[in-house]
Amino acid sequence: MQFQAIKRSKQIIIPAFKIAANTREAEQSCLALLQVCGAVPKLIQIQTHIVKLGLRNNPLVLTKFASTASDLKAIDYASSFLFSPDSDAHIYDAFLFNTIIRAYAQTSHTKHKALYFYSVMLKGGVLPNKFTYPFVLKACAGVGDLNLGKSVHGSVVKFGFEDAVHVRNTMIHMYCCCAGGIECARQVFDEIPNLDSVSWSAMIGGYVRVGWSSDAVELFREMQMVGVRPDEITMVSVLSACTDLGALELGKWVESYVEKEGIQKSVELCNALIDMFAKCGNVDKALKLFRNMTGRTIVSWTSVIDGLAMHGRGMEAISLFEEMIGAGVEPDDVAFIGLLSACSHSGLVDEGKRYFSSMVEKYERVPKIEHYGCMVDMFCRAGHVKEALEFIHKMPIQPNPIVLRTLISACRAHGELKLGEIITKQLIREEPMHESNYVLLSNIYAKMKHWEKKTKTREVMDKKGMKKIPGSTMIELDNELYEFVAGDKSHKQSTEIYEMVDEMGREMKRAGYVPTTSEVLLDIDEEDKEDALNRHSEKLAIAFALLNTPPGTPVRIVKNLRVCDDCHSATKFISKIYNREIVVRDRNRFHHFKDGLCSCRDFW
């Protein structure tokens, strides 16, 4: 921490304060002066005034001085003046601290300073009031440290603010922002006797934040059951859960609910709707909402650009980006990620290179690892493995494991097996407990036909107690969400589903489908491998959809991982044989299967 001057002030004395009659005027003149300032030069000027007029220990003036500071530099300046050890003023009250803590808690990179002044406050014996904790908890949320959060929670109880409604709700929020804090948040939530819409929103939003989206939806249903009216902020969180789950029907229901209940369509709510439609497979509807909305922000633009990118509509994404520039909206880091991933997903290598340079040169942005990641991904998808490798060598920052895994997948897909093996082994040394590294290695050995090495890799995984993340596929039918995992037998239509899968397999083979058995991790014979492939969750979900929807109805499914080679090839056959449009959202993008072809042009 850089507060040398402040750190030295060990003792804070709070004498009784009395305004002399003749200082009234001075005080008024100072306050008047404080109406118009903000930045550091003006603060210095006023500081001189304060000292000259002998108001160095006037709480009213000092607090006004603190709250006047308009930017971070000014706040730093103000706090160092107010709390400097050589100051003869020691009039510290809660409001003064609150002002400083609030200023620091509002900005994302200064949360630790807010907490520092909170500790100064406690050490100085200044009692926090009911306004203090919402600021302090917000700062804790930004830091995200559970132990810190718990200790602040302890102080809240100690000072008797645990029943203050704002404090409780911010506490839920704070715990939700701390790693591993979601259970603590729920505990606070459960102990509140009269939950209001803010408490519910905080908890629902927290579930979404940690990826427990179905729990978020569940909680929203509970909220409706107990009759608390959701507002636009609640709906943003619920929509965000729909987006995560890929639950288009639920998302549409939310849209009509908003209309019906007359919930205010804030810019943020519109953005959430746009994002939901784009990521749940209806990017045209997202575009329509985008065109009709007023007050678009960078988030609106980015959501729709990103949506187009996921659907492989790269040229449209680019033209929207250009339109955004034309509209005078300055692109930020996230917007560039969207743009570059659009280039990547549509194989627009030249455009991607051009935008990457213009990002650096024209927009003077320092590329982050995510931007480099997009570029590597772009080269890899296009099959330019060598170029990807050169690019990584030239990067000014270290490639992270995500970038390396992209490169490794490309090595496997484009026959650079030896190179892939070397990089993977290196990665395993750095990240020995990351399960997907072993899967990659195992897949490389399969392609090399090094069966004994593949078996050994599998054994290492077992020995370390690692399991493959189970693939799962979600599908919505009649307002219900169904989730299938590989080999799922839990569904009540299970027998019919497996019969359907068998029938699909026979029809596909007749049409020329060859199972891709080389990537099956298990060490079993070929026939069992085929069987293992047929039990993949997406095939089960598709069979379920074919059984339960009228002919010709489009099928929409959502996978938690990337779609495997075999399922991709099988789905193409199924779309043709059964004359169905099949829309698959995988971890990275959308695949629109129609007439035996996929919109990704086998490029994902």
Window 228-267: residues binding DNA (CB under 7 A): 230-234, 236-237, 240, 243, 266-267
Stretch touching DNA by CB under 7 A, among 49-57, 134-142, 515-523, 555-563: 134-142
Helical residues (DSSP H) of 433-564, grouped into ranges: 435-448, 451-463, 494-510, 526-534, 537-548
Q: Does 202 contact DNA by CB under 7 A?
A: yes
Interhelix angle 565-577/537-548, nearest 10 degrees: 20
420 CB-side CA count, 13 A: 27
Interhelix angle 401-413/435-448, nearest 10 degrees: 20
CA-wise closest residue to 232 among 208, 257, 211, 253: 257
Q: Which two tokens stand for residue 276?
A: 């939901």
Residue indicated by tokens 């179905």: 214
Q: Closer CB to DNA, residue 302 or residue 537?
A: 302
Q: Which two tokens stand for residue 41?
A: 């030069």
Q: Cα(481)–Cα(473) distance, rounded to whole angstroms?
A: 10
Amino acid (1-letter code) at residue 223 = M
Rounded to a whole number of angstroms, the minimum distance from the CB of residue 469 to DNA is 16
| DSSP class of 166 | H
Stretch touching DNA by CB under 7 A, among 124-132, 359-367, 476-484, 596-604: 124-132
Tell me the three state secondary structure of residue 582: strand
Kindly calculate the radius of gyration of the chain based on its CA atoms and give it in whole angstroms: 29
Q: Cα(466)–Cα(451) distance, rounded to whole angstroms?
A: 20
Q: Does 283 contact DNA by CB under 7 A?
A: no
Over the window 313 to 332, marking each residue x when it contacts DNA by CB under 7 A and - when it does not, the resulting string is -------------------x
Over the window 357 to 376, marking each residue x when it contacts DNA by CB under 7 A and - when it does not, the resulting string is ------------xx--xx--
Among 75, 320, 337, 555, binds DNA (CB under 7 A): 337
Stretch touching DNA by CB under 7 A, among 59-67, 280-288, 386-394, 454-462: 59-67
Q: Cα(113)–Cα(125) distance, rounded to whole angstroms?
A: 18
Q: Does 351 contact DNA by CB under 7 A?
A: no
Return the bridge partners of 481, or none. Answer: 476
Q: Which residues of 569-585 are buried (b: 16+ CB within 10 A; e: fewer)?
A: bbbbbbbbebebebbbb
Chain centre distance of CA 109: 18
Rounded to a whole number of angstroms, the minimum distance from the CB of residue 52 to DNA is 22
Q: Cα(287)–Cα(466) distance, rounded to whole angstroms?
A: 43
Chain centre distance of CA 395: 25
Rounded to a whole number of angstroms, the minimum distance from the CB of residue 69 to DNA is 14
Q: Cα(342)–Cα(338) distance, rounded to whole angstroms?
A: 6
Q: Does 143 contact DNA by CB under 7 A?
A: no
Q: Does 135 contact DNA by CB under 7 A?
A: yes
Q: Does 167 contact DNA by CB under 7 A?
A: yes
Q: Does 198 contact DNA by CB under 7 A?
A: yes
By CB under 7 A, the residues from 99 to 118 that bind DNA are 99, 102
Stretch touching DNA by CB under 7 A, among 28-36, 127-135, 247-255, 349-357: 127-135
By CB under 7 A, the residues from 373 to 392 that bind DNA are 373-374, 377
Rounded to 5°, the CA angle 446-447-452 comes to: 35
In angstroms, the first-to-last Cα distance of the chain is 46
Q: Closer CB to DNA, residue 264 or residue 426?
A: 264
Over the window 168 to 197, marking each residue x when it contacts DNA by CB under 7 A and - when it does not, the resulting string is -xx--x----------------------xx
| DSSP class of 323 | H
Among 98, 424, 473, 575, binds DNA (CB under 7 A): 98
Q: Closer CB to DNA, residue 342 or residue 532?
A: 342
Q: Closer CB to DNA, residue 102 or residue 568?
A: 102
Over the window 472 to 511, marking each residue x when it contacts DNA by CB under 7 A and - when it does not, the resulting string is ----------------------------------------
Rounded to a whole number of angstroms, the minimum distance from the CB of residue 499 to DNA is 38
Chain centre distance of CA 588: 14
Q: Closer CB to DNA, residue 26 or residue 208?
A: 208
Sheet strands side by side (includes 555-559): 480-485, 472-477, 555-559, 582-585, 590-594, 597-598
Rounded to a whole number of angstroms, the minimum distance from the CB of residue 94 to DNA is 6
Size of residue set near DNA by CB under 7 A: 74
Residue indicated by tokens 């490169």: 407
Rounded to a whole number of angstroms, the minimum distance from the CB of residue 273 to DNA is 10
Among 47, 107, 129, 560, binds DNA (CB under 7 A): 129
Phi-psi region of 552 (alpha: psi -120 to 50; beta: other; left: phi over 0): left
| DSSP class of 550 | -
Q: Does 269 contact DNA by CB under 7 A?
A: yes
Stretch touching DNA by CB under 7 A, among 271-279, 355-363, 547-555, 593-601: 271-279
N residues, the chain: 604
Q: Does 279 contact DNA by CB under 7 A?
A: yes
| DSSP class of 511 | T
Stretch touching DNA by CB under 7 A, among 25-33, 80-88, 291-299, 430-438: 291-299
Among 402, 469, 511, 524, binds DNA (CB under 7 A): 402
Q: Does 213 contact DNA by CB under 7 A?
A: no
Q: Does 60 contact DNA by CB under 7 A?
A: yes
Q: Closer CB to DNA, residue 76 or residue 306?
A: 306
Q: Does 166 contact DNA by CB under 7 A?
A: yes
Stretch touching DNA by CB under 7 A, among 55-63, 390-398, 466-474, 491-499: 55-63
Alpha-carbon separation of residue 376 from 105, 339, 369 (angstroms): 37, 14, 10
Q: Does 159 contact DNA by CB under 7 A?
A: no
Rounded to a whole number of angstroms, the minimum distance from the CB of residue 495 to DNA is 38
Rounded to a whole number of angstroms, the minimum distance from the CB of residue 599 to DNA is 17
Rounded to a whole number of angstroms, the minimum distance from the CB of residue 352 to DNA is 11
Q: Cα(86)–Cα(83) distance, rounded to whole angstroms?
A: 9
Stretch touching DNA by CB under 7 A, among 43-51, 225-233, 490-498, 560-568: 225-233
